[in-house]
Amino acid sequence: MIDVAALKAHAKSLLEKGSVRAVIGYRKSTAGLLAEPATIADADATDDLIFDPTCVQNLALYLVNDKKERVHSRSDDKRPIAVVAKGCDSRAITVLLQEKHFPRESVHVIGVSCEGTGVVDARKLAKKLDGKKALSVNFDGSEAFSITTEDGAQSIPAAEVMAERCLECRSAHPTLSDMTFGEAKSERALHAPFQAVKHKMKDEQDNRWAFWARQFDRCLRCYACRSVCPMCYCEECVVDSINFAVLPDTTADEKADRIKWIERSPARSETAMYHMVRAIHLAGRCVDCAECERVCPVNIPLRLLNTRLEMEAFETFEYNPGSDMNAPTLTSSFRDTDPNSFIR
Amino acid sequence: MTKTVAMEKMLNKADLAAWMGKLDSHRLFSPALEDEDVWNYMPVEEAAKVLLNHPNTVRPPKGFVFPQREVLYEYSQVPGEAPVLNETLPDPAPAVVFGVRPCDSRGLVRQDIVFTKEYEDPYYQGRRAKVIYVGQACNQPPSPNCFCMSVGGSPCAEDGLDVLMTELDGKYHVKALTPRGSELLAKGGELFKDAQAADKAAVEKAHASAKAHPQRPIKDLGKVAGALKANFDSPAWDEMAKACIGCGICTFLCPTCHCFDISDEVKCSSPCKGERVRTWDSCQFPDFTMHTSGHNPRETLGSRLRQRVCHKFLYFVENHDTQQCTGCGRCVSLCPVGIDIVSVVERLGQP
Amino acid sequence: MANAVETAKDETGFEPKIVAFLCKWCSSAGSDLAGVSRLQYPSNAVPITIMCSGSMSPMFVLSAFNKGADGVLVSGCHPGDCHYLKGNFFARRKIYLVQKLLQFVGLENDRFRMSWVSAAEGVKFAGVVDEFVKDIKKLGPQTRLKAKR
């Protein structure tokens, strides 16, 4: 079982020794059951750190945000930043390192084990508890979560309330870390990898389009999926209007001739474009942390879209994102044996 | 909308569908599941299936009057000639929206202030005049993060509504609050019985018990604006926004947020033809305040969080003497990283 | 081939719009060859010359469909013939992924195609376009990803 006290002590000693600028971890939230990401720079505040199945967020995102912030603040503090990383988070960090987003020495990875289970899906849990409010969720061996409500504690089989992505997780233990807490349990295979996407692929094409059209139609374009994704670090996204400066002397013709990839209107065609651009841009980079799907306020199954290409990467190109920071990326490499028969 | 003497009636729950049936001159909407767990205002297809037992909808009902995309006008230009503009004022068919929670209708009152007080927005007004809001008092809090009473509202508030319905044992207490609401009740005719003293007592009891549900308090609401002003430069903004991912959930799903962007959607470049559209925008997006020069006055997430909270609890209070937050709790429940406006106000909005 | 233009007209009068992204070093020259050789083939393809199939952004494909293309063709040099040595190998991987994504979302399989056409293969180019047009005619206009304008 993961020793959270040891995790806190490690974070505290890092900050006390001054060997890191801050520790990015999880703490209890005031907004609900799920933990909130916390960036802690004060050694005394490390006591707030927690790690339990409510720690769903992918903290690799905050390494990206930290880099952006440091560019603007022009800080010359060269010390690394520490980050708590689950298996999926560590894969995301590996991809960022592979893409040279930041150097290895600028980050101290505190790996944490999901203890053979994974994190909780708040929606599934709410359904399971049928109106009762969960106050805390804890690891309880490899097959169950211990959940407390106003009525006391109960043990629920983890597979029933676990996040979908955890059910299909192929490597639950951090693959990259400077220090790891918890037991190295990565064997579980609750669901076959890519089970959900393979199931969807069996649908007729017309039905699949009907399915996706319905999903795209209700998209709000709040861009939470993009904002929460550690791989969506483009300085400027195709959906942003930043590069379309309209000046007083910009003529109608100039406006008309300017390439505008995606309109801001939440129309089906535009939303489809947005999600497909994101999916293709994540090909071979998506580590299936499924944060995009979790944060979606209207439950668009984005994980399904993104894992489609991950499946292709894994099965056709034998490429596993986040497994090797020194390997070439999926689309910057090729093999002579790559599929060719689809080309005329 | 001037208020007349409130008309109080009783409607058997089983007769709700019959009443809806008599309103067929209007498009009807009620909360329904758009997808698993996603409650939204959907067109009523089968009145008998409307239960009005919904939790808070994911989207507030603001889209009926302030849609995410509004065409302002169409334009076209033949080279060498003057551009031709064609105004496209909305003229929607009349609609009745059922199941509106009091927090959302109070949100509507705030939208009214923005779109009608200083400048009368014809697009907003064109839609507003056509939508009748039938509210539903919250006997049980529809969200675990409700805090309507902490911002001057209540689970049975009437502002912004045309009708308020309160669920009682097997019946609805239906109160018309505007002439439009009274007309709606009149269409129900015999379905409605006058509310008796016992019914009125039962409603009062239901409302009192609804108000007794514990909610998260905001101390000294009157002093929040001043305190926020004093804390404008506090480093705590950056600290609290550390986890923020900069998405648009909190603002797009807020019943009072009303910021928009205007852009041209070119449909054809030769001859030049297109639409000028207004779409929702969010102060949380990086390009919201971006200048053409590339300078961004609200570069950091902390400054954007400050903008959101101060707009609701400081600037709006200064300009319109009321908070621009109605305590629906959506931004708290749906924030991917647990940023909690009540905690923020507690920390920086207290003297 | 000779009566390709005539067969391009069907009863509904639907003429597919095809956007063809052609590598400057091979397929673009191949299409020129088809022209100067006076081969008859449907005129439905709008050629856009790109420097290499490897420079093909998936965004171009999606955007073409968004702006109303009924079909999109990407054509580059045969494996081993790339002017930049390996651009077409990168393209092959990338385009394969784009195709899988389009199919998964539910765009009809026949709307997106890739071909290897060298500068000497004018006949092949005409054949590829002819076949593409015929297949798209069976599908009718592309409505799924097209913006309403």
Under 8 Å CB-to-CB from A338, ≥6 apart: which residues? A316, A317, C89, C92, C93, C96
Cβ atoms of B326 and B148 within 8 Å: the answer is yes
| Chain A residues near residue B145 by CB distance under 8 angstroms | 31-32
Q: Which residues of C touch A (CB under 8 A)?
A: 58-59, 62-63, 66, 79, 86, 89-90, 92-109, 113-116, 128, 131, 144-148
| Chain B residues near residue A58 by CB distance under 8 angstroms | none
Residue B43 contacts A, CB cutoff 8 Å: no
Closest approach of B251 to chain A, Cα-based (Å): 9
Per-residue pLDDT band for C8 (boundaries 50, 70, 90) equals very low
The verdict on A14 and A141 lying in the same domain is yes
Cβ atoms of A81 and A14 within 8 Å: the answer is no
**Is the pLDDT confidence value at C11 over 90?**
no
CA-to-CA distance for B335 and B250, rounded, in angstroms? 7
Q: What is the pLDDT of residue B75?
A: 93
Cα-based distances in Å from B305 to A230, B246, B251, B348: 21, 9, 11, 12
Closest to C101 in 3D by CA, of A308, A196, A304, A210: A308
**Reduced 3-state DSSP string for A11-78:** HHHHHHHCCCCCEEEEECCCCCCCCEEEEECCHHHHHHEECCCCCCCCCHHHHHHHHHHHHHHCCCCC
Q: What is the mean pLDDT of chain B?
A: 93
Q: What is the pLDDT of residue A34?
A: 94
Which one of B36, B263, B342 has the shortest CB-CB distance to A299?
B36
Residue B40 contacts A, CB cutoff 8 Å: yes
Cα-based distances in Å from B20 to A65, B8, B65, B153: 51, 18, 21, 28
Q: Which residues pair with C47 in a beta bridge?
A: C20
Best of A201, A260, A269, A316 to mutate (most C CBs within 10 Å, chain C): A269
Closest approach of A89 to chain B, Cα-based (Å): 16
The verdict on A79 and A142 lying in the same domain is yes
Share of chain C above pLDDT 90, in %: 90
CA-to-CA distance for C80 and C94, rounded, in angstroms? 17
The verdict on A7 and A116 lying in the same domain is yes
Q: Are B58 and A298 within 8 A, CB to CB?
A: yes
Closest to A134 in 3D by CA, of A121, A117, A144, A143: A121
**Is the pLDDT confidence value at C10 over 60?**
no
Chains with 3 or more CB pairs closer than 8 angstroms to B? A
The verdict on A338 and A249 lying in the same domain is yes
The verdict on A249 and A187 lying in the same domain is no
The domain locations on chain B are 7-64+89-212, 221-261+282-348
Q: What is the pLDDT of residue A245?
A: 64
Give the B window 270-309 contacts with A, CB below 8 Å: 270, 272, 274, 277, 279, 282, 285-287, 290, 292, 299-301
Q: Which residues pair with B269 in a beta bridge?
A: B272
**Is the pLDDT confidence value at B325 over 80?**
yes
The verdict on A200 and A283 lying in the same domain is yes
Which one of B246, B264, B279 has the shortest CB-CB distance to A227?
B246
Closest approach of A128 to chain B, Cα-based (Å): 13
Which of B205-219, B260-274, C97-111, C125-139 has the least mean pLDDT?
B260-274
Cβ atoms of B143 and B115 within 8 Å: the answer is no
CA-to-CA distance for A168 and A327, rounded, in angstroms? 24
Per-residue pLDDT band for C7 (boundaries 50, 70, 90) equals very low
* Residue that is last in its domain, among A191, A226, A241: A191
Residue B78 contacts A, CB cutoff 8 Å: no
Which one of B145, B266, B290 has the shortest CB-CB distance to A31?
B145
Tokens for B295, please give them.
């300078």
| Chain B residues near residue A57 by CB distance under 8 angstroms | 336-337
Cβ atoms of A7 and A84 within 8 Å: the answer is yes
Would you tell me how many other CB atoms lie within 10 Å of the CB of residue A160?
A: 13
Cβ atoms of A158 and A185 within 8 Å: the answer is no
Best of A23, A28, A36 to mutate (most B CBs within 10 Å, chain B): A36
Q: Nearest residue on chain A to C146, judged by CA atoms?
A: A269
Q: Which residues pair with C76 in a beta bridge?
A: C116
Q: Dihedral (C-alpha) B212, B213, B218, B222: value to the nearest 10 degrees?
A: -30
Give the B window 245-264 contacts with A, CB below 8 Å: 245-249, 252-253, 261, 263-264
* Residue that is last in its domain, among A163, A191, A219: A191
Q: What's this model's pTM, rounded to 2 decimal places?
A: 0.93
Closest approach of C59 to chain A, Cα-based (Å): 7
Tokens for B320, please give them.
């319109």
Which one of C90, C100, C105 has the shortest CB-CB distance to A212?
C105
Range from B49-53, B117-121, B263-267, C12-16 that averages highest in pLDDT: B117-121
Strand order of the β-sheet with B84-87 is B84-87, B69-77, B272-280, B260-269
Q: Nearest residue on chain C to A336, judged by CA atoms?
A: C89
Closest approach of C91 to chain A, Cα-based (Å): 9
Number of domains in chain A: 2
Tokens for B224, please give them.
């929040």
Cβ atoms of B155 and B102 within 8 Å: the answer is yes
Closest approach of A84 to chain B, Cα-based (Å): 14
The verdict on A230 and A187 lying in the same domain is no
Cβ atoms of B253 and B58 within 8 Å: the answer is yes
Which one of B75, B77, B249 has the shortest CB-CB distance to A224?
B249
Instruction: State the DSSP H helix or E strand holding residue C45, giving kind and residue range, or none if neither.
Output: strand C45-50
Q: A–C: how many Cβ contacts below 8 A? A: 108
CA-to-CA distance for A7 and A86, rounded, in angstroms? 13
Q: Are C100 and A261 within 8 A, CB to CB?
A: no
Q: What is the pLDDT of residue B204?
A: 95
Under 8 Å CB-to-CB from B19, ≥6 apart: which residues? B11, B187, B188, B191, B192
Cβ atoms of A83 and A109 within 8 Å: the answer is yes
Best of A220, A225, A228 to mutate (most B CBs within 10 Å, chain B): A220
Q: pLDDT per residue over A123-166, tens digit each?
A: 999 999 987 889 999 998 778 899 999 889 999 998 899 999 99
Cβ atoms of B110 and B316 within 8 Å: the answer is yes
Q: Nearest residue on chain B to A292, judged by CA atoms?
A: B336
Q: Are A305 and C63 within 8 A, CB to CB?
A: no
| Chain A residues near residue B343 by CB distance under 8 angstroms | 30-31
Best of B36, B272, B332, B337 to mutate (most A CBs within 10 Å, chain A): B337
Strands A152-157 and A144-149: antiparallel
Listed as ranges, residues in chain A with pLDDT below 50 are none
Per-residue pLDDT band for B2 (boundaries 50, 70, 90) equals very low
Its ipTM equals 0.91
Q: Nearest residue on chain A to C131, judged by CA atoms?
A: A344
**Is the pLDDT confidence value at C119 over 50?**
yes
Chains with 3 or more CB pairs closer than 8 angstroms to C? A
Average pLDDT over residues C103-129: 96
| Chain A residues near residue B83 by CB distance under 8 angstroms | 252
Cα-based distances in Å from C105 to A232, A237, A276, A339, B131: 21, 22, 9, 21, 37
**Reduced 3-state DSSP string for A169-238:** CCCCCCCCCCEEECCCCCCCCCCCCCHHHHHHHCCCHHHHHHHHHHHHHCCCCCCHHHHCCCCCCCCCCC
State the alpha helices, DSSP H only, in chain C.
Answer: 4-7, 27-36, 58-66, 87-105, 122-139
**Is the pLDDT confidence value at B288 over 60?**
yes
User: What is the total residue count of chain B?
Assistant: 351
Q: Are B248 and A224 within 8 A, CB to CB?
A: yes
Strands A23-27 and A81-85: parallel
Average pLDDT over residues C26-49: 95
Q: What is the pLDDT of residue B196?
A: 92
The verdict on A159 and A210 lying in the same domain is no
Q: Are C106 and A209 within 8 A, CB to CB?
A: yes
Strand order of the β-sheet with B131-136 is B38-43, B27-35, B95-100, B131-136, B163-168, B171-176, B7-12, B192-194
* Residue that is last in its domain, among A191, A206, A232: A191
Residues A294-314 as b or e (16 or more Cβ within 10 Å = b): bbbbbbbbbbbbbbbbbbbbb
The verdict on A164 and A217 lying in the same domain is no
The verdict on A129 and A205 lying in the same domain is no
Q: What is the pLDDT of residue B3?
A: 44
**Side chain identity, residue A245:** A
Closest to B31 in 3D by CA, of B45, B20, B42: B42
Q: What is the pLDDT of residue A251?
A: 75
Closest approach of A103 to chain C, Cα-based (Å): 26
Average pLDDT over residues B135-142: 94
The verdict on A37 and A100 lying in the same domain is yes
**Is the pLDDT confidence value at C6 over 60?**
no
Cα-based distances in Å from A342 to A321, B104, C92, C95: 24, 54, 9, 10
The verdict on A149 and A258 lying in the same domain is no
Q: Nearest residue on chain A to C116, judged by CA atoms?
A: A344
Q: Is the preceding omega at residue B271 within 30 degrees of 0, hence cis?
A: yes
Q: Which residues pair with A24 in a beta bridge?
A: A39, A83
| Chain B residues near residue A257 by CB distance under 8 angstroms | 269
Q: What is the mean pLDDT of chain C?
A: 91
CA-to-CA distance for A220 and B248, rounded, in angstroms? 9
Domain containing residue A300: 194-344
Q: What is the pLDDT of residue B90?
A: 94
Q: What is the pLDDT of residue C2?
A: 37
Average pLDDT over residues C69-81: 96
